Homo-oligomer: A and B are copies of this chain.
């Protein structure tokens, strides 16, 4: 009986070593990386250093350049291979003075934030009646011409939730609203901040324009001021007029940069595992959670792997994308530049969801490949309280153009309940970084990255590569 049990045990141990795509050694090292991360990593130090030395770093500005220089210097100091910046062109946008004031029925200054890329108002501002819409669908239902000479305002709140679905449900209000308002004749567009706080700051973020409608000035309103305007309208039943003045400058083409650093693989150096974040941040905060946290997490995970005695079989590439906030401009520039080689890229992901704890691991892998390795990965992550998730990973915003070309991706899901209290606001500051929570993320990233860099499996072709992307 004991001999039989021993034989069964030996058999069980032997099978994975022979037949499984993940060797016990790979899984063992992944567990060691995980446990090492929990003892403390450079994630917080790295993110804090950037946020304190550079701070806000809007794409295409001198601050963006300072951040890029900082990143090249620090990644080089950390010993990564072939650290470099790749420059790309982008349309510049400089925030000017901005103000908004309700002028009737009673005067009130309100807090706004001009949306990134917004055209300025005419000199001296615009003053017009405000037309309120409770939802974006209500705006869409307004007839063409019905907003002539008016300012359109979508007052829909954004709900708090675990995974950002609340944000995804309302972000088009910010991104698409100026187009739809202008199509109906509006001369200005306001949107209740796409944020979940009730503080007196407005969430910035990018706005889009369409070629076939005028580009109208667009701004986000602080949630309390949005409620105030709704209450003014409900209580007094009189027209609300508002003066909006924004002196933004559109300086034409400017430059930004993607930052790249490698750990060269020992067996398949041309197959990359991409671990990415984005370098740029909005100017109103200092980019601590968005995306200093992500930069710290992926850099710390890669550093743990770099410090191992053995190299991974595949190469690991850190990318800090530039100009993510202006519409994934750095990611698109990277894809355009490296198009010929992307077919060899093994898998990628981006950390861009703040600094709270990780709780799930999504993938987008060829189903048989996922079946072969996912349970093993989850077992390695179990001590971190990572729960199973689906095979519909988006991989993070900057993975979009990669994924659309067929690259497998994964997403380390982070608790997002409080993220949109901070995201794109002035509150995104160094005090929001929590070293222990970042380390827990690093533990996940280090284990997953190591496993994928060494797995004997093919993750392609992926299901549904052009699935709806997470909006940024």
Q: Which residues of A contact B (CB under 8 A)?
A: 48-49, 52-55, 106-108, 111, 197-201, 223-225, 227-228, 231-232, 235-236, 285-286, 425-427, 429-432
Contacts and interface: CB of A to CB of B under 8 A. Distances in A.
Given A201-B201, A431-B223, A108 B228 contact: no
A108 B427 contact: no
Nearest to A105: B53
A425 B200 contact: yes
12 contacts: A52-B232, A54-B106, A55-B107, A198-B431, A199-B426, A199-B427, A200-B201, A224-B432, A227-B429, A227-B430, A227-B431, A228-B429
Contacts of A285: 200
A323 to B, nearest CB: 22
B430 A228 contact: yes
Given A55-B108, A232-B52, A198 B430 contact: no
A432 B52 contact: no
Contacts of A48: 231, 235
Can you tell how many copies of this chain the complex includes? 2
B52 A228 contact: yes
A111 B426 contact: yes
Most buried by B among A49, A235, A430: A430
A416 B1 CA distance: 69
A228 B429 CA distance: 8
A432 to B, nearest CB: 7
Contacts of A197: 199
A385 to B, nearest CB: 26
A392 B105 CA distance: 45
A227 B106 CA distance: 38
A231 B199 contact: no
Nearest to A426: B200
A373 to B, nearest CB: 41
Contacts of A108: 55, 286
A269 B48 CA distance: 66
Contacts of A431: 198, 223-224, 227-228
A426 B108 CA distance: 13
B427 A198 contact: yes
